[in-house]
Structure 1
Amino acid sequence: MNWILLIIAGLFEVGFTTCLKLSDNFTNLRWTAGFLAAILLSFFFLNKAIQTLPMGTAYAVWTGIGAVGTVIVGIAYFNEPANFWRLFFIATLIASILGLKFFAGSAH
């Protein structure tokens, strides 16, 4: 369950970074409200996850999910580049996230 909470936290991180871009420097109130809601939910679920997962592992996985997800959103919706090297390093980041998940010890 703790890993599910961490994945949810990472997805909300993707949400808050996307809303941040769409908020137009916090001038668009709808996207600013989305940013605030998503960041609060992301930290809420991250906090729940680190109650049972090692803090360093959880933080690394959370930021990794956010980074990979944000790059995917950037490529899919904001026409950001998707060249070989960019995709290669995103793939290595995904492999690192999976490695942390499968080789993480328990917090206690």
Structure 2
Amino acid sequence: MFDLLAAAGAGPSAAPVWTNLIWIFGMIAIFWFLIIRPQMKRQKEHQDRVAGLKKGDQVVTQGGLVGKVVKVDDTYAELELAPNVKVKAVKHTIADLIEPGGKPAND
């Protein structure tokens, strides 16, 4: 008789462990598709653009300098910022390429 009373007062049993794992894997999938995957895609596109640099391209560095590519090697790109003003930049610090034919911001 005491066994029946003890069993009745024990309350509900805990959920199975696999239900908790479903939530954890679901959160990992959400982070993968919303954060990690798009960032990897943007990084791959940037690497492709930097690898395809050629003489005459107009670029923007991560520091905000705008220049024209004069010379490119494996690691560095030489940029002309103004007439007779050249700087050497590490290729991976180039943020973006400016499309030819684009209008300047102040025109």
TM-score of the superposition, structure 2-length normalised? 0.26
Q: Which has the higher contact order (CA 8 A, sep 6+)?
A: 1
Q: Could you say which structure has the higher strand fraction? A: 2
Give the structure with higher Rg (CA).
Answer: 2
Q: Could you say which structure has the higher helix fraction? A: 1
